[in-house]
Amino acid sequence: MTGSRPAANGQAADPEVEAKLERLPKMPIVDLRYRYRELFRTEPPKAFGPDLLRRSIAHRIQERAYGGLSREHQRLLDQLVKAAQAKPNGRLELPRRIKPGSELVRMWNGRTYRVVVMDKGFAWKGRTFSSLSEIAFEITGTKWNGPRFFGLRSSSSKSEGESKANAG
């Protein structure tokens, strides 16, 4: 918590916000817990020591002053939390964002398939599909994870990928 600095969003730092942040390192834990309750309207987690209390409070102060996460980023974080809860020891993969106009190319059984990414869906053979999985099914006749079929995700295991490849 240093002197005047620009906010993360590029706007000039608010001196009032800076003053609040400057006071945090000197606050006793009792006052930090009280401030946490004020800002979050809930009891602080029992596991939070002074450092995490300060960080949480500082984040909330800045979030209120300068704005929080965009809806898109909040939705992404929510998806990651759900994925982590579903597979606590699993590997998390960030969903890739493919720009409209991009072309996905896949070789399958000696033929080349080209799919164009659109704002809402995917174009292939003059038709629009809502998912890559639909197109992968049209191509192979079997159910596939579309992003995996088009190489946008790694296979979870080599044997799964081999058994899918042998099926089509």
Contact call for residues 149 and 136 (beta carbons, < 8 A): yes
Is pTM, for the whole model, over 0.85? no
**Rounded CA separation 140/137 (Å):** 5
The per-residue pLDDT for range 62-100, each reduced to its tens digit, is: 999 999 888 888 888 888 888 888 888 877 766 667 888
Cβ neighbours of 74 (radius 10 Å): 11
* Angle value at C-alpha 13, between 10 and 17, nearest 5 degrees: 135
Burial of 116 from C-beta contacts in 10 A (0-12 / 13-18 / 19+): middle
**Rounded CA separation 97/74 (Å):** 15
Contact call for residues 149 and 132 (beta carbons, < 8 A): yes
The per-residue pLDDT for range 2-57, each reduced to its tens digit, is: 445 555 556 688 999 999 999 999 999 999 999 999 999 999 999 999 999 999 99
Query: DSSP letter at 143?
Result: -
Q: H or E element: which one contains 121?
A: strand 121-124
Closest to 142 measured CA to CA, from 153, 152, 134: 134
Looking at the predicted structure, is the pLDDT value of residue 138 above 70? yes
Going from N- to C-terminal start, the domains of the chain cover: 15-66, 103-167
pLDDT at 103: 92
